[in-house]
Amino acid sequence: MTLSDPQQPIAVLGAGSWGTTLALVLNGKGLNVRLWEFRQDAVERLRADRENKEFLPGIPLPESLEIHHDARECLADAQVVLLAIPSQFVRGALLQMTDFFPRGAIIINAAKGIEEITLMRPSEVVEEIYPGTWPDRYVALSGPSHAEEVSRGIPTTVVAGSANIDTAKTVQELFFTSTFRVYTRHDLVGVELGGALKNVIAIATGIADGLGFGDNTKGALLTRGLAEMSRLGIKLGGHPETFAGLSGMGDLITTCMSRHSRNRYVGEQIGKGKTLDEVMQTMTMVAEGVKTTVSSRELAHREQVPMPITEAIYSILFENKPVKEVVFELMTRELKLED
């Protein structure tokens, strides 16, 4: 699948740090990019400041980047629609746009989560609202890619996953720059799940940081966390090799180790003794791993896949079990073969 006209509009829905960054990547290639933000006051600030001081401070927004509050105007004649909306809000946003959403557009999802109530991946939500979207026109863009670094031109690699490899290649070419390298993967399910599930493990490594644990603990969490992710992902239809790639291991390492990671931060604060409510009240950005802890645990139960780290994080976040007690239980459970 190819783009019919390089100057036909590209609509980016969501002006958080990641949506703004991806809009800048595309704008920097001379493409016609429109950025949508649902809050009118935020749109006015973005237009006046030409900077996203709330989510991406210090990065100028060029005058050529259009900023919209009216979704109908933003989506008009768009050949590509990039979803940079937190996964729990994708359904609500798209349902408000059904009358004017461009049905023939390529849809790229850049958020990383699983819908909590339905346990659907973002592609399944989009397909339910706009039947016929995939396999041909839907791509998941994922990988180790913090907005704070991409926006400053720090070399980054991601993967475009799709059930249609030609559409993935179109998105690869669309985003590719000298500092933003894009690979393709013929595995939409695996790419979506890797990006979502690693956020739960990032909360776990953050808790380890908050407790003052060391590198041994992190190494264990990364390794056994990847095993959990792979078990569930493969059971749901993902390819094993995907979880060893950018959207699996790559994103897992970065999210678990980085000071930019919101999910790691949530875990760290809990490890230091704060409650989940106390942590969430201090955050302006969304930590997708909190909701994904619930949905991934439900998927694991449904599919009868053992995920002890995910189960442990759920018990800390939502059952208020003491952190050190959970660590003890995790370490002293039945001895097993490494798999």
pLDDT of residue 7: 81
Structural Rg of the chain based on CA atoms: 20
> CB-based contacts of 332: which residues, under 8 Å, 6+ apart?
none
Q: Residue 250: its pLDDT value, please?
A: 98
Catalytic residues: 198
Q: How far apart are CA 253 and CA 289, in angstroms?
A: 15
Q: Which residues of the chain have pLDDT under 70?
A: 1-2, 4
Supply φ then ψ for residue 213, to 5 degrees.
-70, 170
Q: By C-alpha distance, which of 7, 79, 17, 10 is closest to 46?
A: 17
- Check residue 169 and give its pLDDT: 98
**Nearest 10 degrees: CA dihedral of 307, 227, 160, 172?**
160
Ordered DSSP codes for 41-108 = HHHHHHHHHSEETTTEEEEE--TTSEEES-HHHHHTT-SEEEE-S-GGGHHHHHHTTTTT--TTSEEE
Question: In Å, how far are 17, 148, 260, 284, 297 from 55, measured between CA atoms?
Answer: 5, 9, 12, 8, 30
User: 274 CB contacts (<8 Å, ≥6 apart)?
Assistant: none
pLDDT reported for residue 6: 72
Tokens 């799709």 -> residue = 162
Residue 67: phi, psi to the nearest 5?
-125, 125
pTM, full prediction: 0.95
The pLDDT value given to residue 47: 98
Strands (E), the chain: 10-13, 33-36, 51-52, 56-60, 66-68, 80-83, 106-109, 138-142, 156-161, 180-185
Q: Which domains does the chain have, with CATH numbers?
A: 10-186 (3.40.50.720), 190-332 (1.10.1040.10)
**Amino acid 287: pLDDT:** 87
CA distance 321 to 198: 22
300 and 200 in contact (C-beta within 8 Å)?
A: no
Backbone angles phi, psi at 12, to 5 degrees: -110, 115
Quick one: how far is CA 23 from the chain centroid? 16
Six-digit token string for 311: 């189960």
DSSP element (H, E) containing 282? none
